């Protein structure tokens, strides 16, 4: 893997449309394993967001002073340190959540997301962090959406984090008594991810067609009135003697 230059103009808004679940490459494993509860998806998405933003910030700051041949190795060390810190924090303050997430905290954050998409570049620290935040938020939202659909249809509940006397569980009337159990199984996760990926592809095609239509309208309006009124290939009338 080379230290490629990041795309110009990378921003938080632009990265939001780069959904790992929509591409079905980076977010497939967590979308099947831990999306049975919305709280699991939010916790994993938050951890990934912290690790991605922190590692990209440190990598951008260290890139000018580190030789290119060892830059990627240093980036790996930074990522491993942040992932370990997040994992230990979850184990200390939320042991039940840590047990539910299991190996997917280090496995997904390092192997699937950060190592696959976050190679250190030479952009400024601000742009690097914005790009990382965009992809992290996109991943967290996509994962939470899959979990929301699966839990509502498969269990009839929405599990969030407890607060005070509230246990953090919202019951969906009707589905709580007669849930669609297939959505709680791995097959249901594949089905939800497939429909969301198809919806993302449809939206991308619609945006592409809209941009094409605007480009054609701009090209038409840029022509002179005589060019718009006269058909193509028609010659000017001959002068009479």
Extents of the domains making up the chain: 12-172+181-204
Written as six digits, the tokens of 159 are 């599990």
How many Å separate Cα 19 from the centre of its chain? 3
The CA distance from 34 to 104, in Å, is 8
Average pLDDT over all residues of the chain:
75
Average pLDDT over residues 112-137: 65
**Position 223 confidence tier, pLDDT thresholds 50, 70, 90:** low
Distance CA 91, CA 86 (A): 9
Are 106 and 83 in contact by the 8 Å Cβ rule? The answer is yes
C-alpha torsion sign, points 36, 38, 43, 45: positive
Q: Which two tokens stand for residue 78?
A: 């930074």
Which burial class, exposed, middle or buried, applies to 19 when counting CB atoms under 10 A from its CB (0-12, 13-18, 19+)? buried
Residue 32 CB contacts under 8 Å (≥ 6 apart), including other chains: 186, 189, 190, 193
Tokens of 239: 């002068």
What pLDDT score does 92 carry? 92
More confident residue, 136 or 1: 136
DSSP state of 102: T
pLDDT at residue 41 above 70? Answer: yes
Q: pLDDT value at position 229? A: 55
Q: Is 37 exposed, middle or buried (0-12, 13-18, 19+ CB in 10 A)?
A: buried
Flag whether pLDDT at 66 surpasses 60.
Answer: yes
- Does the pLDDT value for residue 225 go beyond 70? no
- Percent of the chain clearing pLDDT 90 (strictly above): 5
Look at residue 16 in the predicted model and tell me its pLDDT.
Answer: 43
Q: What is the reported pTM?
A: 0.72
More confident residue, 15 or 72: 72
DSSP state of 167: -
Tokens linked to 1: 């893997």
For residue range 139-183, list pLDDT tens digits in order: 788 888 889 999 999 988 998 988 888 888 888 888 888 888 888
Distance CA 17, CA 13 (A): 8
**Predicted confidence band of residue 116 (pLDDT cuts 50, 70, 90):** very low
How much is the pLDDT for 20?
52
């Amino acid at each position: 893997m080379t230290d490629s230059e990041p795309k110009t103009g990378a921003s938080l808004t632009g990265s939001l449309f780069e959904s790992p679940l929509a591409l079905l490459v980076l977010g497939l494993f967590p979308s099947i394993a831990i999306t049975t509860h919305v709280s699991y998806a939010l916790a994993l998405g938050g951890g990934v967001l912290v690790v991605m933003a922190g590692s990209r910030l440190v990598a951008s700051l260290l890139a000018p002073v580190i030789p290119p041949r060892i830059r990627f190795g240093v980036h790996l060390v930074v990522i491993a340190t942040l992932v370990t810190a997040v994992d230990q924090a979850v184990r200390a303050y939320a042991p039940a959540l840590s047990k539910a997430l299991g190996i997917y905290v280090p496995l997904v954050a390092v192997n699937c997301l950060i190592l696959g998409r976050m190679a250190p570049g030479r952009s400024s620290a601000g742009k690097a962090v914005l790009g990382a935040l965009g992809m992290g938020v996109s991943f967290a939202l996509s994962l939470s959406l899959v979990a929301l659909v699966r839990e509502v249809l498969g269990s009839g509940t929405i599990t969030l984090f407890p607060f005070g006397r509230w246990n953090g569980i919202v019951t969906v009337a009707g589905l709580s008594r007669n849930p669609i159990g297939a959505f709680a199984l791995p097959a249901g996760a594949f089905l939800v991810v497939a429909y969301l990926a198809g919806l993302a592809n449809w939206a991308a095609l619609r945006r592409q067609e809209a941009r094409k239509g605007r480009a054609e309208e701009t090209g038409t309006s840029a022509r002179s009135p005589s060019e718009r009124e006269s058909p193509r290939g028609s010659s000017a009338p001959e002068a009479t003697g």
